[in-house]
């Protein structure tokens, strides 16, 4: 009898572990490719593996050893209950960003509002907001044409009516007033390069990750441009690097002295969001 599924995947997994990689990533990729649930896996794991499946596992293993992200291998990533197409022109959406989306939805009703997502990437933030709040007019901006192509495809697949604009920060909005600005911008400083995971440094798009001036350049731009465009009771939701809370808070407090500016933590307890709201709110 030939190799069985679990034997091949166990070997592949321990091989990854020995190389200092995530062992379970090979099973994750395999199950996704097959469209198998955990139950399917339990039903099939002792069966003899097909040569096609074994070859696919070996090919995927080669890529994973080189730190190629599983999401790029599969061409998709799940975010806020939706499946998004991803490729090397877009960042892989992160769970922390789901928390930003969640907070924005919880704090704002489904009434007509103009909402702008700067640095949309896969479109994950803009599309998730629009699907949950159909009355919002959502515009998604990115400086990368390639990223916008991916975001547009995601919007089509998920049937979200989002307006996409190519440009830098809030420039495409021209004079149009906005109610909510939301952004997960590039915020990693060049000094933090060595702290980044190798798969991120090697494969994810640099323009979506790094910012000048200790990672603060884009926040300075957004503060300056939002000052002219944000409606008097408008709000801003920003994802930040875990060491940037106080600095970004001060920057926006100076720009918007009448507003409440607070730093919020992610589920891991790290500073992860800065929220600028129209009035002092409870909580």
Annotated binding-site positions for S-adenosyl-L-methionine? 119-123, 142, 184
CA of 110: how far to CAs of 114, 137, 181, in Å? Answer: 11, 11, 16
- Judge whether 172 and 119 are in contact, CB under 8 Å: no
DSSP letters, 102-138, are HHHHHTS-SSSEEEEEES-TTTHHHHHHHHH-TTEEE
User: How far apart (Å, rounded) are the C-alpha atoms in residues 71 and 25?
Assistant: 10
Q: 257 in the Ramachandran plot: left (φ > 0), alpha (ψ -120 to 50) or beta?
A: alpha
- Judge whether 242 and 271 are in contact, CB under 8 Å: yes
Residues in binding site: 119-123, 142, 184-187
User: How far apart (Å, rounded) are the C-alpha atoms in residues 196 and 70?
Assistant: 17
User: How far apart (Å, rounded) are the C-alpha atoms in residues 243 and 254?
Assistant: 19
Query: Strand locations in the chain, DSSP E?
Result: 76-79, 82-85, 113-118, 136-142, 163-166, 178-183, 230-239, 260-265, 271-277
Tell me the two tokens of residue 149.
């192509």
Residues in binding site for substrate: 184-187
Eight-state DSSP code of residue 34:
H
User: How far apart (Å, rounded) are the C-alpha atoms in residues 24 and 125?
Assistant: 28
Of how many residues is the chain composed?
283
Strand, coil or helix: what is 81?
Answer: coil
């Amino acid at each position: 009898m030939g190799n069985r599924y679990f034997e091949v995947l166990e070997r592949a997994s321990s091989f990854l572990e020995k190389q200092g990689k995530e062992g379970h990533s090979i099973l994750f990729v395999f199950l996704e490719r097959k469209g198998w649930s955990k139950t399917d896996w339990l039903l099939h794991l002792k069966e003899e593996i097909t040569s096609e499946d074994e070859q696919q596992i070996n090919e995927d293993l080669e890529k994973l050893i080189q730190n190629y992200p599983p999401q790029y291998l599969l061409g998709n990533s799940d975010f806020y209950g939706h499946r998004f197409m991803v490729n090397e022109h877009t960042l892989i959406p992160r769970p922390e960003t789901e928390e930003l989306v969640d907070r924005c939805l919880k704090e704002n009703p489904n009434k007509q509002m103009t909402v702008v997502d700067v640095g949309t990437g896969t479109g994950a933030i803009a599309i998730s907001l629009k699907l949950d709040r159909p009355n919002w007019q959502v515009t998604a901006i990115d400086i990368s044409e390639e990223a916008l192509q991916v975001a547009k495809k995601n919007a089509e697949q998920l049937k979200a009516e989002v307006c996409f604009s190519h440009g830098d920060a809030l420039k495409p909005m021209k004079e149009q007033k906005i109610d909510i600005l939301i952004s997960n911008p590039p915020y990693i400083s060049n000094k933090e390069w060595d702290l980044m995971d190798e798969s991120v440094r090697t494969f994810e798009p640099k323009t979506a990750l790094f910012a000048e001036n200790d990672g603060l350049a884009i926040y300075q731009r957004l503060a300056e441009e939002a000052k002219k465009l944000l409606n008097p009771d408008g709000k801003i939701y920003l994802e930040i690097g875990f060491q940037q809370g106080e600095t970004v808070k001060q920057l926006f407090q100076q720009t918007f002295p009448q507003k409440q500016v607070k730093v919020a933590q992610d589920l891991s307890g790290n500073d992860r969001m800065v929220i600028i709201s129209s009035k002092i709110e409870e909580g």
